[in-house]
Amino acid sequence: MARDTSATTVLLTGASGGIGSAIAHLLAENGYTLLLQGRNPERLDNLRLSLPDPERHQSMVADLTDPTQRQALVERCRATHGGVDVLINNAGVSQFALLEDIDDAKLREVLDTNLLVPIALTRDLLPLLSQSPQGAVVNIGSAFGHIGHPGFCLYGASKAGLHGFSEALRREQGNRGVRVHYLAPRAVDTTLNTEAVKNLNRALGNHSDAPETVAEQCLKLLQSGSSSRRFIGWPERLFIKVNALLPTVVDSALTKKLPVVREYAAGKAQ
């Protein structure tokens, strides 16, 4: 018999983005109630109105890198009737560039959005999530957090940090605490990826998934009884294992791709 999800409320960050919208649709179709976070009120409201039972869901506008706006979001969650059961840390930004071309402002933006924000939001919402038998956090990572890839030093570092955080928190919560899930997609067809990244992926033969694929895996994590982590895509799952056991093998494979990465990062290749 299908589980009753009508009383499960999910705060979904980055709901207005490609993966966020797909997760919002799938969860709403499966009966979850959504608190949709993003920075653009119009995009959020259009999304909300496109979901089944739009009046059941709420839009919550906030720039999460602004501590005051993030705190206001946490307060709204605390004031939400019935509480919040699940936090999906999905909001994120990417950066494709060689390290020497990244300035301090970009460094801060990527690390704040992809790492500091999910840690701070989780910390602030943990007491609320702990009150729910469905209490769970889902952190959306990336394959680049597990396979250091040239051109993605900063992004990869932020996602590797998110994985480290998820793993430690999962162990800190133990068997009886809030469930902590970690989901690492490979490339996904969304506007997060610039034309340069899309062209690079094509040149390197990297596969791209539809956002709906990520949403399906996210739902499976929520439906599973215990904390877990998932990596999307084959052969990426194999590369992640090889990279963990024999990093020098992956070093030489990726070093061969360096000239192509450099060309696309410099905007010389189309």
What residues make contact with ligand NAP under the rule CB under 6 A? 14, 16-20, 38-40, 43, 63-65, 90-94, 113, 140, 142, 185, 187-188, 190-193
| Contact yes or no for 150/258 (Cβ under 8 A) | yes
Distance of closest approach, residue 53 Cβ to ligand NAP, in angstroms: 21
Instruction: Give me 33's structure tokens.
Output: 């109630």
Distance of closest approach, residue 212 Cβ to ligand NAP, in angstroms: 12
In the bound state, the residue with its beta carbon closest to ligand NAP is 17
Distance of closest approach, residue 162 Cβ to ligand NAP, in angstroms: 8
Closer to ligand NAP at the Cβ: 17 or 161? Answer: 17
Query: Which whole-number Å values give the CA distances from 60 to 34, 56, 145, in the listed order?
Result: 10, 13, 28
Closer to ligand NAP at the Cβ: 143 or 250? Answer: 143
The values of phi and psi at residue 13, to 5°, are -85, 150
Closer to ligand NAP at the Cβ: 132 or 209? Answer: 209
Distance of closest approach, residue 256 Cβ to ligand NAP, in angstroms: 22
Q: What stretch of H or E contains 241?
A: helix 236-245
The values of phi and psi at residue 217, to 5°, are -70, -35
**Active site includes 155?**
yes
The whole-angstrom separation of Cα 147 and Cα 150 is: 10
Closer to ligand NAP at the Cβ: 42 or 101? Answer: 42
Measuring CA to CA, which residue among 173, 52, 62 is closest to residue 123?
Answer: 173
Q: Which residues are catalytic?
A: 155
